[in-house]
């Protein structure tokens, strides 16, 4: 079979989802800063670096995963378990470098988090919530989230 040299499209490098480690703090801070417009104070945080340090602290009920492409962090998701009547995991941050968007990284991060939540709780129902900017709500709807208030979305997992 003959293929013209220019007909072969460059395939994007593979990425993998792994738990965040303390050595990823600077990279996570960079991804958050690049993904969210405005100063850290706009988001009511001290700095992107201090926020990155806070979200990788698994001892405080946080789950933090990163997407790595060729050893570089290109995406991050962080969530924390809330002490509520129905077990609730609130996604605090989902961020993918602007140059890496549209390649399924954000979707894979969320799917991996859902798998972890689904296997970690034995209760009949678990709720996953997040606050989404209006321009991103369609992205979350495609993943199964539904609106339930101004900017808030949720998904219920049933066992």
Nearest CA to 127 out of 145, 107, 105, 101 is that of 145
Assigned domain for 134 exists: yes
What is the domain-level CATH number for residue 41?
Answer: 3.40.630.30
What residue ranges in 39-132 does DSSP mark as E strands?
A: 62-69, 72-82, 88-96, 125-131
Assigned domain for 8 exists: no
The secondary structure element, H or E, covering residue 116 is helix 105-120
pTM for the whole thing?
Answer: 0.86
- Per-residue pLDDT tens digits of the chain, which is 159 residues long: 333 344 344 445 689 999 999 999 999 999 999 999 888 888 899 999 999 999 988 667 889 999 999 999 999 999 999 989 989 999 999 999 999 999 999 999 999 999 999 998 888 889 999 998 888 899 999 999 999 888 788 888 876
Tokens of 23: 């050595």
Assigned domain for 113 exists: yes
Assigned domain for 7 exists: no
CB contact at 8 A, 110 and 67:
no
Boundaries of domain holding 112? 14-158
Assigned domain for 39 exists: yes
| pLDDT recorded at residue 150 | 80
Structural domain count, the chain? 1
Assigned domain for 3 exists: no
Assigned domain for 1 exists: no
Assigned domain for 4 exists: no
């Amino acid at each position: 079979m003959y293929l013209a040299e220019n007909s072969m499209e460059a395939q994007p490098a593979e990425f993998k989802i792994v738990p965040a480690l303390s050595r990823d703090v600077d990279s996570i801070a960079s991804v958050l800063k690049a993904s969210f417009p405005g100063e850290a104070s706009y988001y009511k945080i001290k700095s992107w670096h201090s926020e990155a340090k806070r979200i990788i602290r698994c001892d405080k009920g946080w789950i933090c995963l990163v997407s790595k492409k060729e050893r570089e962090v290109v995406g991050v998701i962080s969530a924390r378990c809330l002490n509520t009547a129905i077990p609730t995991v609130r996604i605090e941050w989902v961020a993918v470098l602007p140059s890496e968007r549209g390649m399924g990284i954000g979707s894979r991060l969320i799917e991996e988090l859902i798998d972890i939540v689904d296997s970690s709780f034995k209760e009949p129902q678990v709720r996953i919530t997040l606050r989404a900017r209006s321009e991103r709500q369609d992205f979350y709807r495609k993943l199964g989230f539904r609106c339930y208030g101004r900017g808030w979305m949720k998904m219920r997992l049933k066992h």
